Structures are given as C-alpha cells and as structure tokens.
A and B are shown apart, each in its own frame.
Chain A
C-alpha cells in the first residue's frame, strides 16, 4: 500500500495534490465532475477585501505549452467568499482549504486576512504578493524584499492562520525574496506564480490581452518552477508548496524532489477538468514504478 500522506504545517494531507488558486474557482463547481474529497486541499480563487470585476476582455491568450491570463483577481469580495462561497464548498468538500488573498495595499491585505480568522473552513492563508495582473499592488509587493518583509510582518501580526507567501518568478533573485518573507515570520512559501508575458494579434499587430501583459503558465514554465523551488528549498527552513506547469504524476514526483511538500496543479485544470483526479489516481502506480513507498520521503530528493 503506497503512502501518499504528507505533513504540512502540522496537518496531515491525504495526498500532496492541491488545485492552484484561480484555476479551480471556489471548488464546488468541480464536484459535479467527481468527488473532490480526494483532493489534498484546494487553494480557492484569489480573494480581495472588496468585490472586483477584474480586467477587460480578452483576458486569455494561448501560448506554446501554456497560456497567458490577465483575469485581474475577479472575485466577489472576502465577505461573500466567507459567508457564501466557502459555505457552498463545505457541502461538497469536507476538508479545510487554503484561502488565497490579494490586495492593492497593506491595509487591504491585513483587513482581508483578518476576515478569515474565524473561518473554520480555512486552514491557512496563501498571501498572493505575485499577481502580475493588478496595478499598484499584487506583484509590486513581491518584487522588493523590504516591501514583502513589511507586508508579511503586518499580516502575521493579525492572522490566526498560518501564512503561506506565494512568490513571483519575475524577480532577479527569488532566494532573496524567500529569505525576506522567512525572516518576516512566514510559515511557508508557495511558488511560482506566473511569468509576465504577452502575445500579439498577427492581423492587427496589437496585444491580444486587453491589459497588454499577463501571466504565462502551463508546462512551458515547469523547468523554471523546478529550479526556483529547488533554490528556495535549499536556502530557507520553511515548508514549500511547489507549482508551475505541473501536469502529470511524474511532474509531482520531480517537484517533490526539488523540495516541495505540497504540489499545486494550475493550468492543467483548465484544459482537463479531471487533471487532479487523474494525477492522484496515477500517483500510486508511478510510485510503484519508481520504488517509492512513502511520498513524504522524497521531499527534497531521494535519500
């Protein structure tokens, strides 16, 4: 019997597979397709203090081995997320979830995080300081070590939940960012968010994305994600959630070799709504093939 269980921040997850924020809505819609209770956890759609419509359309552009998105954190606002979306999710998903929080200012992040303090459904907060699609916030908090440090410090002071800081790959030195949030008291790190990219319409010569630029994700960024997860895991003493282009059970294994305790699946959910289910069902077979008994044993490489 293969053991898929992993310990992350003192909680035992039945497996390391977690749909990444923004690729799984608020989760409950996928319960029409399969029993989502098989998921390790769910990182829900990025949530802000106030409701946000997000960016103008088009928000999506196809790329080789992936896509660019510029959604702009569309969400109904934290109050509705806590009182409505998480209630709906609770009907079809028994376990706790990871709430993903975005914002434009320290105030917004702090106030949003506070609203999850009393949410029993929420296990931890994933602090999104790496969204490339909102102006004057989002990624601005995740590209400067001091700014990131100050924000994480402020959020840690008010949160009763563990804080997972989601890092951007759009930096010169991701290790420096990881160390900054570690020293500010972050409980864990998740990475990588999307890489800033763009596409042009061949006929009009204009950018396809209305917001001009967007975040590139999909299998194309997988090697970059592995490298950054590896570098960060070598440099900090925090548990890591690895993500970026993970599409198969083999990708999960590699991501764990690189140092991830949990593995998030993002873009793949969009082209295959059964992606997480397939990966979870395939993991025991792949572990068997590779002679792995306990998944937890391979975090950071094979001993």
Chain B
C-alpha cells in the first residue's frame, strides 16, 4: 500500500451513470488485477474504495457507477484535479489458476475484469467473458472487451445479447472453461458459486479503512472471518459463506 496523489487525466461518461476515470502518477504498488484503490473525495470523511479497472506504468483506470453522493461528486471532477489515493490495496486475481479462463461480470462488476482480461492476453490467452446486466444501458466498454475477450453479453430484459442471467448464458452457450473469475452483485456471485465451485468471486463491502485495520468489512468464510479489504476482495467461490 502506498499513499499517493494521482492526477485526473480523463473522467468520461461511458454508460448510464457509469464513468471511466484515468488517473496518472505513481501506481507502482498495484501488483495484480482485482486490487482496489481508496480515494479521498473532498467533503466526505471516508475514502471511496474503487476497483482497479486497468493499470500500467504511471496510470490506473477506474470504472465507477454513480450510486451515492460521493460518486456523484466524483463524476463532476475535471481533468487536472489531484486526488489523494491509497493504492495497492487488497488481494487481487490469481491468473495462474486457469488455462481456459472464464470471466463473469455483472453490471459495474465488469470493472476489474478488464485488467484481468489484459493480463491473460499478455500471457497469450484470450479469455471468455460473460458480461451480464439489467439492460443494454449497463453494458459498457464493448469495443475494448471484444478485443480482449471472447465476449458474450446477456441482459435481464433482452435489450442486448442473450436474454437471461449469466448462469443461463454460460449454460446456453455451452462455454468451456476450467476456472472462472467473477465480480458483480452478491446474488449473482452466490448463485454462480453454487452452480460452479471452480472459481473465485470478487466481493464488495462498505469499508472503514480499506487496509485491514477496522474489521468493518469482515465476512464469514469456511476458514474463519476474513476481511474483504485485506484477504479479499477476491475469494475462492467455495470459501465464502453467502
């Protein structure tokens, strides 16, 4: 973990209430896709923990949805503004687990899968991605994702792609994978983990600190209590007690 000031290079709307922000500066403490950063939003006491969408030398991209007052303010931030960030937080995805990876993103849970897909691409593997959402308004970054993945889109209302949820989509498309990586709504992760034990889930939680000090985000697992911010956010699907 490192406390750094990052500069907003870009902050653009990419979907309904969904924004992509590029931050530049020292991001060297980000080690794996699936980690998160914790941002001080001026005017609010607690930091905002946001998934690393993608990262590289000197930059980190975050994809966020306006859900509360803090993210609403973030969406108005202009290029050039400096943000106080804790970077290199959490335990990200382990890409050594899959030879034939399946990525499953639900809604804004697509965010960390972008960097993960890129990491697989760099290993010479093109992962399958099932991207589910309520409607086409929540399906973002399609062009980029199609380049990185074998993309399957599904929506609850059928407004884009397969009509149905991610599990129905996986089954209907008869997808071949040996291990999956998922991020999305709690219910989706729960059903996914019950349908397929061979994968991992990236959880979200309201956090106090984001670095393991306050126990504000501890969940129960088969191996005792674990902190979403420290041992997580990525957990083996079979260890989480939903």
Contacts and interface: CB of A to CB of B under 8 A. Distances in A.
Interface string A58-95: 11111111110101001000000000000000000000
Nearest to A268: B45
B3 A274 contact: yes
B4 interface: no
Interface string B208-225: 110111111111100001
B35 to A, nearest CB: 15
B95 interface: no
Given A60-B216, A74-B225, A270 B206 contact: no
Interface stretch (A22-30, A115-123, A190-198): A22-30
Q: Tell me what chain B mostly uses at the interface: helix, strand, loop, or mixed.
A: loop
A74 B215 CA distance: 7
Given A32-B1, A58-B205, A62-B45, A269 B225 contact: no
A65 B45 contact: yes
B224 to A, nearest CB: 8
A290 interface: no
Interface residues of A, number: 35
Given A53-B220, A60-B217, A74-B218, A25 B208 contact: no
B170 interface: no
B209 A273 contact: yes
A54 interface: yes
Given A32-B1, A60-B206, A273-B1, A24 B225 contact: no
Given A33-B1, A62-B44, A74-B225, A270 B205 contact: no
A271 B3 contact: no
Given A61-B206, A271-B46, A30 B225 contact: no
Q: Which of A58, A208, A267, A273 has the most CB of B within 10 A?
A: A273
Given A66-B45, A273-B86, A59 B216 contact: yes
B203 to A, nearest CB: 10
Interface in B35-79: 40, 44-47, 70
Nearest to A201: B68
A25 B45 contact: no
B199 to A, nearest CB: 22
A240 to B, nearest CB: 25
Contacts of A32: 1
Nearest to A65: B45
A69 B208 contact: yes
Contacts of A62: 44-46, 70
Interface in B174-231: 205-209, 211-220, 225, 230
B14 to A, nearest CB: 23
Given A59-B206, A60-B206, A67 B45 contact: yes
B214 A270 contact: yes
A271 B210 CA distance: 9
A69 B213 CA distance: 13
Given A58-B206, A271-B47, A45 B3 contact: no
B215 A45 contact: yes
A30 B211 CA distance: 9
B209 A269 contact: yes
Contacts of B205: 57-58
A71 B216 contact: yes
A218 interface: yes
Contacts of A54: 215, 218, 225
A270 B220 contact: no
Contacts of A65: 45
Given A59-B206, A271-B40, A67 B213 contact: no
Contact of A67 (B40, B46, B70): B46
Residue of A69, A219, A270 with most chain B CB atoms under a 10 A cut-off = A270
B217 A57 contact: yes
A151 B209 CA distance: 33
Contacts of B213: 23-25, 29-30, 269-270, 273
Contacts of B207: 60
A48 to B, nearest CB: 13
Nearest to B211: A273
Contacts of A71: 214-216, 218
Contacts of B209: 23, 269-271, 273
12 contacts: A25-B212, A25-B214, A45-B215, A53-B220, A57-B206, A61-B206, A64-B45, A67-B45, A67-B208, A71-B215, A269-B209, A273-B211
Interface of B: 1, 3, 40, 44-47, 70, 86, 205-209, 211-220, 225, 230
Top-6 shortest CB links A-B: A270-B209, A60-B216, A58-B206, A74-B215, A62-B46, A60-B206
